[in-house]
A and B are shown apart, each in its own frame.
Chain A
Amino acid sequence: MSWDQAVERAMKNSIPRVYSILEEHPYLSDLAKRLRDKKKEVINNLEEYVEKTLESVKKNGGTGYLASTPEEVREIVYKIVGSGKRVILGKSMVAYECGVRKFLQEKGNEVWETDLGEFLIQLRDDPPSHIIAPAIHLTKEQVGDLLEGKLGGVDKNSTHEELVSKVRDFLREKFVTANIGITGANAVAADTGSIVLVENEGNIRFTTVSPSIHIAITGVDKILPTLEYALIEAMVQAAYGSLYPPTYINVTSGPSSTGDIENKRVRPAHGPKEFHLILVDNGRFKASKEPILRDTLLCIRCGRCHFHCPIYRALGSKWGDPPYSGPMGAMWSYVLNGDGKPALLCAHSGGCKEVCPMGINIPKVLEYIKWKSLKNGNR
């Protein structure tokens, strides 16, 4: 089956489901509006919020870092992880952005993606084809063939359930024996230093709890003023990403803790002994200072814009710098890599701006990027 068929199926599944979710739970649209206001507040005062977040992480017994570049991220991660470890990843697009998985492998670690889609594309060495559904380009039959070759015991005729079960069996042992768990964060609360992660598979819950060290890598754009808004972000992201209610929303505030002896809070308890939060700049601060472009930082990466965009439908992951594709990917490619080429392919179809929960006028941002990029000598 071709990309055309795969993406059409995904659109057919996703678009009506988001309509129904929003109709059934009308409070979600209001939450999205409130969230946009708070995200704007943070973007307007980014330095201040980063500082506040790092202080809050420290108060919780965790360690916070601000990394300017992907190289700095990798350096910090290496200092924590070292070599010869088993590392599990819980789907972090910012970790992908910073090349963390391949870097850790090169440094002699065994690294496993644990999100099913990410695991599949790790096996194939493919780039993600969608921000929240990274293996959207693969059919059940292709997954069957892939797993037959890599793990055995299933094939292209296996059912969806059998394929999922095969991966579950394979990864279960990795979850239990991993030394380090690395995740992203859908949102970070500046007031409590908590990270919020939304998911359905349970892999993130495992990754944040089972290994003795948890590292979260995320962009500074994910900061929200309070835990209240960080939780709202998770709900809004899940809904506009078409899976609501999400199976899990995880909150992590520092290493594991207990207050069970005389109500004194003691760390660690059963979960991780160490919690590290790496906040990544990589062009985000610069973007926050530029009118129009700064709206990119409002993006909550729900991936809804992809399914309302004819260019994404035509090009898939070829449009944008991995792991970012689609209309949001055309914005992020410029913010992170200074790559204006994806923006030049925007045909201002406009569906993206109609459905963006953060009300980002994506074609307007892309028009600005086209202008900047052409002015600076790109084609």
Chain B
Amino acid sequence: MNNIKFLGKMIVENLKTQGMPFPTDPRVCTGWAKDLPRKSDTIIFTSCMYQIEPIVPTLSKFLPSAEKLKSLMPLSRLLKPTQQQIQRSYRILNNIVLSLKQSGINVGYLYEEEPYSGALLLELGLLDEFSDWAKHVASLFREKGIRKVITVDPHTHNALTRYGEFTQFEVEVISYLELVTPKKVEGEYVVHDSCLYSRFLGLREKYRSLIERSGIKTIEDPMITGKDTSACCGGPLAPVDREVSEKIASNRTRDLEKLGNKLLVLCPICYVTLSPHFSGEVLDLAEVIL
């Protein structure tokens, strides 16, 4: 198991200096958006999750030696997703924005000023640090006159919906899943539910109904895809213990592969965690139904 206290300290330092939990090229985070207004009371909030998540598995490999390699941490800025990974994440985000537009919702975007949600601090149990960060983000939103935030991933959504426990936060937080209309799609998919959407945020019926309305046929097994049996991908444990995280991913994939070879996920962490293990095709919901 990694040293979580040290990891927390490192994350907080990076948040203070870079605005992200680890040094990241801001152009990778913002490159997907070209003509979204900077000023709007309704924004899309990416927290750079889709864009940067592909490099997390590589970073996780170094975490056990993080204390020794601390001085090399700034180099992680040089670590970038591949062009293919970047293009895929940009396509997902643009699909979401376009679909919101089609539903009559125009969003702004904070570009390089977009803060990180603090999800990692929350999930590691670093609640004091999360509380400080929530206050910082809440104040930024107030300053910018933001009243509504549209999230695109479950971890960010979860973090923002928890802000109210730590600070005054009157911003409406809503997932894109509650606002978009699916296009017609054919095919059979296995759904790997997001733990947070499904069991913590009350969105399971929402996205499952989107999938159904799109025409996709889902392959179900109550022992694998039921609400209380569909297990975590293992990704959230990668910063804590990579070996356990990988074992969980391998177990989960083994189950899912029994059902089919096309896997639908709803979270960038699930995507990067399960993809190396899953022998078939893994796609994000926003790539398929929007």
Contact = CB atoms under 8 A, between A and B. Distances in A.
Interface of A: 4, 11-12, 15-16, 19, 308-311, 313-315, 341, 343-345, 347-351, 353-355, 363, 367, 369-371, 373-375, 377-379
Contact of B124 (A310, A370, A378): A370
Contact of B1 (A12, A15, A345, A353): A345
B55 to A, nearest CB: 20
A348 B251 contact: no
A15 B223 contact: yes
Interface of B: 1-6, 8, 123-128, 195-196, 198-200, 222-223, 227-232, 234-237, 240-241, 244-245, 247-248, 251-252
A369 B4 CA distance: 13
A314 B251 contact: yes
Contact of A347 (B1, B228, B229, B234): B234
Contacts of B245: 347
Contact of A345 (B5, B199, B240): B240
B248 A12 contact: no
Contact of A348 (B6, B195, B222, B248): B195
B238 to A, nearest CB: 10
Given A348-B195, A354-B199, A315 B244 contact: yes
B234 A310 contact: yes
Given A308-B228, A310-B251, A313-B251, A350 B125 contact: no
Contacts of A354: 199, 227-228
Given A15-B223, A311-B244, A379-B4, A343 B231 contact: no
A348 B200 contact: yes
Contact of B125 (A313, A344, A351): A344
A309 B251 CA distance: 12
A12 B223 CA distance: 8
B128 A313 contact: no
Among all A-B residue pairs, the 5 with the closest Cβ atoms: A370-B125, A350-B199, A349-B232, A354-B228, A310-B231
Contacts of B125: 343-344, 367, 369-371, 373-374
A13 B138 CA distance: 48
Contacts of B6: 379
B251 A4 contact: yes
A343 B209 CA distance: 34
- Mostly helix, strand, loop or mixed at chain B's interface? helix
A367 B130 CA distance: 12
B36 to A, nearest CB: 32
A371 B251 CA distance: 28
Of residues B128, B198, B228, B241, which shows the largest number of chain A Cβ atoms within 10 Å of its Cβ? B228
B177 to A, nearest CB: 18
B140 to A, nearest CB: 24
Contacts of B200: 348, 350, 363
A349 B195 contact: yes
Contacts of B248: 310-311, 313-314, 347
A172 B229 CA distance: 40
Contact of A344 (B4, B195, B222, B252): B4
A314 B244 contact: yes
Contacts of A363: 200
Of residues A11, A309, A353, A367, which shows the largest number of chain B Cβ atoms within 10 Å of its Cβ? A367
B231 A349 contact: yes
Contacts of A351: 199, 228-231
A344 B229 contact: no
A355 B227 CA distance: 10
Nearest to B7: A379
A44 to B, nearest CB: 23
A367 B236 CA distance: 13
A347 B237 contact: yes
A343 B4 CA distance: 12
Contacts of A349: 195, 199, 231-232
Contacts of B126: 371, 374
B87 to A, nearest CB: 29
Contact of B5 (A311, A347, A379): A379
A121 B168 CA distance: 53
Contact of A375 (B128, B222, B231): B128
B197 to A, nearest CB: 10
Given A15-B223, A310-B252, A348 B231 contact: no
Contacts of B237: 311, 345, 347
Given A348-B195, A350-B200, 15 more contacts: A313-B231, A344-B4, A345-B244, A347-B195, A347-B234, A349-B195, A350-B195, A351-B199, A354-B199, A363-B200, A369-B125, A370-B124, A371-B128, A377-B5, A378-B5
18 contacts: A12-B223, A308-B229, A309-B231, A310-B251, A310-B252, A313-B248, A344-B240, A347-B232, A347-B235, A350-B196, A350-B198, A350-B200, A367-B127, A370-B125, A374-B125, A374-B126, A375-B128, A379-B5
A150 to B, nearest CB: 32
B247 A314 contact: yes
A313 B123 CA distance: 20
Nearest to B125: A370
Nearest to A319: B244
A162 to B, nearest CB: 31
Contacts of B235: 347
B231 A16 contact: no
Of residues A19, A309, A314, A363, which shows the largest number of chain B Cβ atoms within 10 Å of its Cβ? A314
